[in-house]
Amino acid sequence: MQLPSILLTISQMLQSHHAKAIVVGGSVRDHFLQHPIKDYDIEVYGVESLEQLAKLLHPYGTVNLVGKSFGVLKLTVAGEVYDFSLPRTESKVAQGHRGFSITTDSHLSFEEASRRRDFTLNAMGYDISTGSFLDPHGGQRDLATRTLRHIDATRFVEDPLRVYRAVQFCARFGLTLHTQTHQLCETMVTQGLLEELPKERIFEEFDKLLHAPTPSVGFELLARLGILRYFPELEAIRGIPQPPRYHPEGDVWVHTMMALDTMARLLKHRPTTPLERRIYLFTILCHDLGKAKTTTQASDGKIHAHGHAQAGITPATALIQRLTDNQALLAGVLPLVAHHMVPSQLYTSHTPITQSIRTLATKVTISTLLLVSRADFLGRTTPQAKQGIYPAGEWLEAEADKLGVLHHPLPPLLQGRDLIAVGLTPSPVFKAILAQSYQYQLEGRIHTKAEALALLTRCE
């Protein structure tokens, strides 16, 4: 296992003090999965206290005891942060993720210390001093069969968040939940154990799930485990029919899952900020929630969901607020949900659309909307979708680019300072004047500041 040189140096130092450093947790798992290792967690055996360990590590960087109550300290070396801990046992004494009694014991065996972990693939270790892997619970075996298996049922149920972790692990790493682990998680859901979890912790796991290569794997598992009862907005779209002509793949849930996986693929090589990525993924998750209330079937069998985009605002708001108080996420998602049908509507419109495109750019960023609409259009089994063809998207992208509104709305020709420059006194009327001027600009009636001022003069 390749390690940063600082960890090899620290391991040698600890050996000289009759102590041993073992890399544990996700970094060992990711080594076997051949995934990039982002964080290194090191468990130190043979050191009697966290304070003693802090003194030993002090010469190598900045030591922070911020996690002292959990038996963890952080060492920062050249901007990189490493978590060091002592072997410990945990026992549940109260509700919540802080309701654990932590007991450190440097003389525990690795097998016993690792028993507190959730899954076998997270309970492996790497002994730096010997260059050997430790696997007392069969993590390598389970990785070979792509199985996610819990270690200890009694300890597993002490933290209900592990059910959500199981879901996102299956989606992120392409795993299948072991039969007994599936039954255990299902029982925990049935018993209502998940209800003690704060939404902030659930959001973290949801966020990881949405970042999986195929998020649908996790969402289907949420459904099978009965967890969708905590997310009625998602539960409501299961079984809602759609017109076969446009959605031969099935109901709204099936389409949403396909669109979600499509968005994950589209984002794979697209540079985005964390917030932008969340906005794209949550928008697709929410884009058709309005169909639960608007879908109707006529006497001739035709299925309609008129107004479902606007109707989706309320359930999308409820779902996101159920998970997080992040207002930036909500503000980014809702306009995209409300307008996700507009590209196709404009494409099939027989009326002049220049003004409509310019106006659309004042409501959403068109380039962002096009990615959402593309995932929506390709997340189905129509012939065009199977070929990866989205005519409305290519057309609108070209038109918006030609009009200069693909990435931002038209900048207003007239501003308040221009009104002052022609002798007008600032007043509440300014807002109405500027709004009218901008409307004329969107309509294409004016194209320069001179034309805007001339129009203002005529209107006085």
Residue 225 DSSP code = T
342 pLDDT exceeds 60?
yes
413 pLDDT exceeds 70?
yes
Distance between CA atoms of 257 and 220, rounded to whole angstroms? 8
The length of the chain, given as a count of residues: 460
- Residue 83: per-residue pLDDT: 94
Distance between CA atoms of 260 and 115, rounded to whole angstroms? 36
Backbone phi, psi, residue 63, to 5°: -105, 130
Structural domain spans, the chain: 5-138, 272-403, 416-459
Tell which phi-psi region holds residue 149, choosing left (phi > 0), alpha (psi between -120 and 50) or beta.
beta
What pLDDT band is residue 238 in, cutting at 50, 70 and 90?
very high
Q: What is the mean pLDDT of residues 243-257?
A: 96
97 pLDDT exceeds 60?
no
Backbone phi, psi, residue 114, to 5°: -80, -10
Best CA proximity match to 149, nearest among 170, 177, 183, 112? 177
92 pLDDT exceeds 70?
no
Burial call 151-166: b when 16+ CB within 10 Å, e when fewer: beeebbbbbbbbbbbb
With a CB cutoff of 8 Å and minimum separation 6, the contacts of 28 are 1, 124, 125, 126, 133
Give the pLDDT confidence of 343-357 residue by residue, as tens digits. Answer: 999 999 877 789 999
Indicate the pairing of strand 80-85 with strand 100-104: unpaired
Q: Which CATH number applies to 5-138?
A: 3.30.460.10
Backbone phi, psi, residue 150, to 5°: -75, 165
Give the pLDDT confidence of 285-296 residue by residue, as tens digits. Answer: 999 999 999 999
* Mean confidence (pLDDT) of the chain: 93
- Residue 290: per-residue pLDDT: 98
Q: Is 148 helix (H, G, I), strand (E, B) or coil?
A: strand
Give the pLDDT confidence of 302-330 residue by residue, as tens digits. Answer: 999 999 999 999 999 999 999 999 999 99
Distance between CA atoms of 264 and 266, rounded to whole angstroms? 6
Give the pLDDT confidence of 186-224 residue by residue, as tens digits. Answer: 999 999 999 999 999 999 999 999 999 999 999 999 999
Q: Which carries the bigger pLDDT value, residue 455 or residue 305?
A: 305
Q: Cα dihedral sign for 73, 169, 112, 143? A: negative
- Residue 459: per-residue pLDDT: 55
With a CB cutoff of 8 Å and minimum separation 6, the contacts of 301 are none
- Residue 111: per-residue pLDDT: 94
SS (H, E, C) 9-71: HHHHHHHHCCCEEEEECHHHHHHHHCCCCCCCEEEEECCCCHHHHHHHHHHHCEEEEEEHHHC
Best CA proximity match to 366, nearest among 323, 409, 430, 309? 409
With a CB cutoff of 8 Å and minimum separation 6, the contacts of 51 are none
- Residue 98: per-residue pLDDT: 54
454 pLDDT exceeds 90?
no
Q: Which two tokens stand for residue 339?
A: 């307008």
- Residue 101: per-residue pLDDT: 61
- Residue 95: per-residue pLDDT: 62
What pLDDT band is residue 45 in, cutting at 50, 70 and 90?
very high
Best CA proximity match to 137, nearest among 155, 153, 149, 154? 149
What are the start-end ranges of the E strands in 61-134? Answer: 62-67, 72-77, 80-85, 88-92, 100-104, 125-127, 132-134
Quick check: 182 and 218 in contact, CB under 8 A? Answer: no
90 pLDDT exceeds 70?
no
Quick check: 167 and 202 in contact, CB under 8 A? Answer: no
Distance between CA atoms of 258 and 262, rounded to whole angstroms? 6
Quick check: 116 and 89 in contact, CB under 8 A? Answer: yes
Per-range mean pLDDT, top range of 76-80, 334-338, 410-414, 445-449: 334-338
- Residue 91: per-residue pLDDT: 62
